Chain A
Amino acid sequence: MAEAAVLVVTGGRVVDREGERPADIAVGADGRILAVDPSIEPGGAQVLDATGCVVAPGLVDLHTHLREPGREEAETVESGSRAAALGGFTAVVAMPNTEPTVDNAAVVSQVLDLGKRGLCEVFTAGAITVGREGEQLAPMGEMAALGVRLFTDDGRGVQDERLMRRALEYASGLDVTLAQHCEVESLSRGGHMHEGAWSSRLGIPGIPAQAEELMVSRDLALVELTGARMHFQHLSTAGSVELVRAAKAKGLPVTAEACPHHFTLTHAALAGYDPVFKVNPPLRTDGDVAAVKRGLGDGTIDAIATDHAPHTQETKEAPFDEAPCGMVGLETALALALTELELPIERVLALLSWQPAAIAGIADSHGGPVAVGRPANLCVIDTGASWVVDPARSASRSRNNPYAGRTLTGKVRHTVLWGEPVVVEGEAQR
């Protein structure tokens, strides 16, 4: 090592896309990895102890709602990025459904600027249509010029087939990916939970699984028509997973994500009318949960995305049908995956790190491999640690966490962002 290390991570097992090996990691002043060796003398460098832990490329969230600008009382870029870092994420893609919408270069710049002070790297998706109104294409080119790689009207799907076709064609010329929140509104309108046994019993208007599946199916047809690349957000039904599985078997250029709540919770959670469990797409049946798990296990679903959606207590305490959809998820995603999925850790990390990094178009800086010259975006995971979820201890400004009191196994011990230890021993450093 010609250059002096400023940080050394010692005693851990590195797990990245190349496999698993015990190694120490030295990081230089430029935030890049200087050395990966079985044993490194720290010298004067700061030491992060990773004994008994997995050292992995930092996690990447494809689907985070940071609420800024417009809803700073629920979350800010800063508070959201701190929650992300505590959850092991070194990069998040912020959803564009802010107020104003991220549908032009000015708002993109605003979010990226705010992100520079964050505890993880903040990327933003842009809206596909102006104001997410589904009527006019947003200026994807000017946003792509600022580095936006993913476009979505998330919170809504693009309803009009003709417009979606044009969006896909236009996007393919910019080498960006369109991501879709799949929901046919004429079927879902007025619904507040999954339509089925529980909605019938509770007297809550339902959203049928087909409201999602019809749009997945329509978009697959449009991908076939245009040849454009497409990413399906937060798949929640067995039918959607099956459609994507068949599309991949046919060789269509599609990817998909699923959220932790869709593989850990069912619509039965709504029995007590607690809006903390109200989310869109809604919590579904046991069969859907099993299908999402299968999809994550067999590669049909490429990424776990949090759909971290903070809301203030006041808004979440509204009557069930008036309360907003969404739950926080950045700090529990990894532990839920490790606890509930019964997958080897390399698979879980593929779903949470390098595969989402590739979809987000940021694989050059996130998602590893852990090798000399690469940016030191890392997380250190104590896979054996169990902990109890306490929403009050969250870094998020919001407390709408459906897992309060749940015991999970697997905890982030340290997070390193471009060589800077932003989380040490489970505590945010700024």
Chain B
Amino acid sequence: MSHLLSVADLGAQGIEEILRLTDSFVEVSERAIPKVPALRGKTVVSLFYEDSTRTRLSFETAAKRLGADTMTFSVGTSSVKKGESVRDTVQTIEAMGVDAIVVRHASAGVPWQIARWASSVIVNAGDGWHEHPTQALLDCYTIRRRLGSLQGRRIAIVGDIKHSRVARSDVLAFTMLGAEVVLVAPPTLLPPSLEGWPVTVEHDLDETLSKVDVVYLLRMQLERQREALLPSLREYTARYGLTPRRAEHLGADAIVMHPGPMNRGVEIAAEVADLPNAVMVDQVRNGVAVRMAVLFLLLGSGTQLEGVDRG
């Protein structure tokens, strides 16, 4: 693996390998000094064209725990605002001597374009509506920790699938690992075509909840109402929000997931978000370990992994 652009490039085997390695890094993260020198001397740059403090901090924490140096290319204060092209920015960064560029961009495909020009390793930290592969990996890891395996599990992804990079990556990853995925959304928030997607579609959340092991709620962007994709957020919540009453339909072992940040009271009620089977905090914690595994696989070598049991 030379870059991490899409979950599709990993295949089930690649995902398994990362998840196995993640176990080791979870163990590292639980130590008193949660650091290993596996990537000492390497430099990882965060190139974030779109604000996402959570994802950026997660990657930077992962890199630091592996002993790498980190840099942030802050687009808000840079020449990019003055119209510098992505290619020029990448070339400037590379001239400073970097090993990996973690890129987030509001436009789909930018990591693919950069990978054609760059000589360093490119990690897709979210591109437009398209993909967010490390999110899918941490979601798989979280489900596995809670439920043992994804094989044969039924997972409902609820909400704005159309504009969601998380949903696209999750559908790929979950189904590759043997889960069944059902999408629950109003038709205006589904992609125009689901040709080739290994999913089923349901419009009734109540019907679905009692039959699934995982309910994965997506963040509802408030502007969808302005774009006439929804009559109102109130109606969305009434039909698709995970209210305490709806949550009662969930099986005893079923878990609730959300990529964050949550709109409490819109797609998820505050009380539900705080239930013990809501695993959002696990998702964040596992995110660091998964990203350590990804950076290690892309940048490290076996001999550098001192003190870590590759299990």
Contact = CB atoms under 8 A, between A and B. Distances in A.
A222 B87 CA distance: 47
A161 interface: no
Interface stretch (A37-45, A318-326, A380-388, A412-420): A318-326
Contact of B109 (A197, A205, A319): A319
Contacts of A199: 191-193
Contacts of A314: 85
Nearest to B110: A319
A183 B144 CA distance: 48
Contacts of A274: 113
A200 B165 CA distance: 11
A274 B197 CA distance: 23
B131 interface: yes
B86 A320 contact: no
A203 interface: yes
A204 interface: yes
B107 interface: yes
B194 interface: yes
Interface string A208-230: 10000000000000000000000
Interface string B125-167: 0011111000000000000000000000000000000000100
Task: Pick from A202, A319, A321 the residue with the most CB of B within 10 Å.
Answer: A319
A320 B108 contact: yes
Given A314-B85, A317-B85, A321-B128, A203 B108 contact: yes
Contacts of B73: none
A259 to B, nearest CB: 24
Interface in A322-337: 322
Contacts of B194: 200
Contacts of B195: 196-197, 200
Interface string B113-130: 100000000000001111
Contacts of A196: 192-193, 195
A306 B203 CA distance: 45
A201 interface: yes
A273 to B, nearest CB: 3
A345 to B, nearest CB: 38
Contact of B168 (A195, A197, A203): A203
Given A314-B85, A318-B85, A321-B128, A202 B108 contact: yes
Task: Pick from A203, A204, A274, A317 the residue with the most CB of B within 10 Å.
Answer: A203
Contacts of B192: 195-196, 199-200, 206, 208
B109 A204 contact: yes
A272 interface: yes
B196 interface: yes
B107 A321 contact: yes
Interface string A22-50: 00000000000000000000000000000
Contacts of B128: 203-204, 321
Interface residues of A, number: 22
B193 A203 contact: no
B105 interface: yes
Contacts of B85: 314, 317-318
Interface in B73-105: 85-87, 105
B193 A273 contact: no
A200 B196 CA distance: 10
Given A203-B130, A204-B128, A317-B113, A273 B196 contact: no
B236 interface: no
Interface string B166-202: 0010000000000000000000000111111100000
A319 B107 contact: yes
Contacts of B87: 317
A317 B112 CA distance: 12
Contacts of A204: 108-109, 128-130
A317 B109 CA distance: 12
Contacts of B196: 197, 201
B78 to A, nearest CB: 16
A300 B192 CA distance: 30
Contact of A319 (B113, B131, B168, B191): B113
A195 B196 CA distance: 15
Contacts of B112: 272-273
Contact of A200 (B86, B113, B191): B191
B110 A203 contact: no
B191 A273 contact: no
Contacts of B113: 273-274, 317, 319-320
Nearest to A198: B193
Interface in A159-213: 195-197, 199-206, 208
Given A204-B109, A273-B108, A319 B193 contact: no
Contacts of A273: 108-110, 112-113
Task: Pick from A197, A202, A317, A318 the residue with the most CB of B within 10 Å.
Answer: A202
Contacts of A206: 192
B193 A320 contact: no
Given A317-B85, A317-B87, A202 B193 contact: no
Contacts of A205: 129
Contact of A317 (B86, B107, B108): B86
A320 B128 CA distance: 10
7 contacts: A196-B192, A200-B191, A201-B191, A201-B197, A272-B112, A273-B112, A320-B113
Given A203-B168, A273-B112, 9 more contacts: A200-B191, A200-B192, A201-B196, A201-B197, A202-B109, A203-B165, A317-B85, A318-B86, A319-B113
- The 5 A-B residue pairs with the shortest CB-CB distance in the complex, in nearest-first order: A273-B109, A203-B130, A319-B107, A200-B191, A203-B129
